[in-house]
Structure 1
Amino acid sequence: MDNDVVNAGNALSVFDFDGTLTKRDSFVPFLLFAFGHRVFARRLVRLVIPALKYIGRRATRDELKDILIRTFLAGVEATWVEQKAADFCERYWTRLMRPSGLIAVATQVNSGAIVTICSASPAMVLKPFADRLGIRLIGTDLEVKDGVLTGRISGQNCRCAQKVERLQAVYGPLSSYHLRAWGDTRGDYEMLAAAQEPYWRPFHRVKSKKMPPI
C-alpha cells in the first residue's frame, strides 16, 4: 500500500511512536538519561516485584506503568522533566528514530494531511519529538499540581481503545476522516482497526505481512 496521499482534504494520519517511529521504547531510556545510572538502578530495584507480578499475570501492564511513573516522577518538577525531554530528544534523535518512519511522516505532512503521534508514552516526554517533526501529539498525560508531578496519570493510559477515544476527543468522529494509522503492538490494534489504511510494522526490517487478529 502506497503512503502517498492523493486527496488529503480530510486525511488524518496517526503514528504510534515507540517501536513504530522509533527503533525501541523511549520512556525507560529517557528515565535512565534523566536520572543517571546510579539513581536509575537504585529505583529500578523497587520494580522487581511488580515486574514479576506482571510476568506472572498478577498485575496488568497499566498497573506496572503506574508504579514506574510513581517511582521515578512523583515529586519532580514538570519544568525539569520538560528540559530533560528536550535534551534527550537532541542527544538521541539519530540513534532512536527510524529513517523510513521519518520519511513517511514527512510524506504525510507534505500531502496536507492532519498528522499526529498517538502514543502511550507520556506526552511531556514526546513533545520535543513531535515539535521537531512538526506534527501534533496525543500521549499519556501526567498529573501536575502546582508545577510538580504527582506520580499519577491524568485520565487513562493512552493505549488500546483509549487511543481511539483520545483521537475522537481531539478530532471528532473518525468517520469524518480518511484515517491512516501506523502501529506495531497490541496497544495499537483498535486504532488500526478503525483506519481505512492500517499499516502494521511498516518500517521494521522484517515486516509482518498482516496484523494478528484482535
Structure 2
Amino acid sequence: MQEGRQIVAYFDFDGTLSDRDTLVPFLIYAVGIWRFLCCVPSLLPIVVRYGLRLINNEQAKQLTLQRVIAGMKSYVLEQKAKNFALTRLNKYLKPVVYSKLEWHREHGHTLILVSANLGVYLRYWARLHKLDYVIATELDINERNRITGRLQTRNCYGKEKVTRIKQFLADNHLSFSYSYAYGNSAGDYALFAYSNEPFYVSGDSVEHWSRRQ
C-alpha cells in the first residue's frame, strides 16, 4: 500500500451521502408505481409493528422485500438496480458530504461504502463514483434465479456494520493505519466507536462526533 492507501474512509449512504432513505424509491422504480401502490395495504401492518417495536429493522426490511420484489427474476432486478443507480441516485446526493468523499479520494484514501441498504444498486453507484468497496445488505436468490425477498446477509446496521467490516478486511487481507467514518444515525454509532475520526452528518452539516458527546 502507498501511504495514502493506508487510510480508509467509511461512508454510510442513506441520510449521510443522500438526503433520504433510498430503499422505497428503489422499490418503486423496480416494480413500478402502480404495483407498489397495490402492495401498500400489506405494508401498513409492517410499518405499525415496526413503529410499536414489535419487530426490528431487519425483520421489517425482509417483510417489505418479500411483499414487493419476491419472485422477480434476478437479472431483471439487477438491470433495474443499475439504471436506478446511474440515473436516480445522484439527484439525492448532499453536495457538502459528497465533497468530503471527493477530498478523501483526492488524497488517495481507500473509500468504503457501508450501508444497511441494498448492495444490488449501491455497487453500481459506488463504481460510478470510484469507491473501492461496498459492504451492504444482500438479497437472497434461489436456484431458479429469482429473488426470494429474504436477506442473504444480516442487515448491515449498527454493530453489524463493524462485524462486516472486520470480516471483509480479514477476507481480503486488508489493513489500515487510520480511519474516518461518516454517518447520520444510531445505526452508525458502532462505526463511530470503531473509527479514529468519526463525523456526524445532520442535514447539510458535518460535525466531528466528539463535539456532540
Q: TM-score, normalised by structure 2?
A: 0.88
Distance 2:106 2:207 in 1: 27
Pairs within 5 Å for 1:112-191: 112-135=108-131, 136-146=133-143, 147-172=145-170, 176-191=176-191
Pair 1:85 & 2:94 matched: no
In structure 1, the gaps of 5 or more residues are: 1-6
2:102 counterpart residue number: 106
Q: Is the 8 A contact 2:181 2:195 kept in 1?
A: yes
CA RMSD of aligned residues (A): 2.1
Q: Is the 8 A contact 2:199 2:207 kept in 1?
A: no
1:205 counterpart residue number: 204
Distance 1:75 1:82 in 2: 13
Instruction: Give aligned pairs, total.
Output: 206
Pair 1:28 & 2:27 matched: no
2:4 counterpart residue number: 8
The offset of 1:100, in angstroms, is 2.1
Consecutive aligned runs of 4 or more in structure 1 exceeding 6 Å deviation: none
Distance 1:92 1:196 in 2: 33
Letter paired with 1:142: L
Distance 1:199 1:174 in 2: 23
The offset of 1:83, in angstroms, is 0.9
The offset of 1:42, in angstroms, is 0.8
Distance 2:96 2:174 in 1: 26
Q: TM-score, normalised by structure 1?
A: 0.88
1:4 counterpart residue number: none
Q: What secondary structure, in the 3-state scheme, does the structure 1 residue paired with 2:204 have?
A: coil
What's the % identity of the aligned pairs? 26
Alignment CA distance shift 1:93-1:155 (3 Å): closer
Q: Is the 8 A contact 1:168 1:174 kept in 2?
A: no
Letter paired with 1:200: Y
CA deviation profile, 1:9-49 (whole Å, cap 9, x unmatched): 41111000001000101111111122121100111210111
Alignment CA distance shift 1:93-1:16 (3 Å): same
In structure 2, the gaps of 5 or more residues are: none
Letter paired with 1:65: K
Q: What secondary structure, in the 3-state scheme, does the structure 2 residue paired with 1:200 have?
A: strand
Letter paired with 2:48: L
Q: Is the 8 A contact 1:81 1:125 kept in 2?
A: no
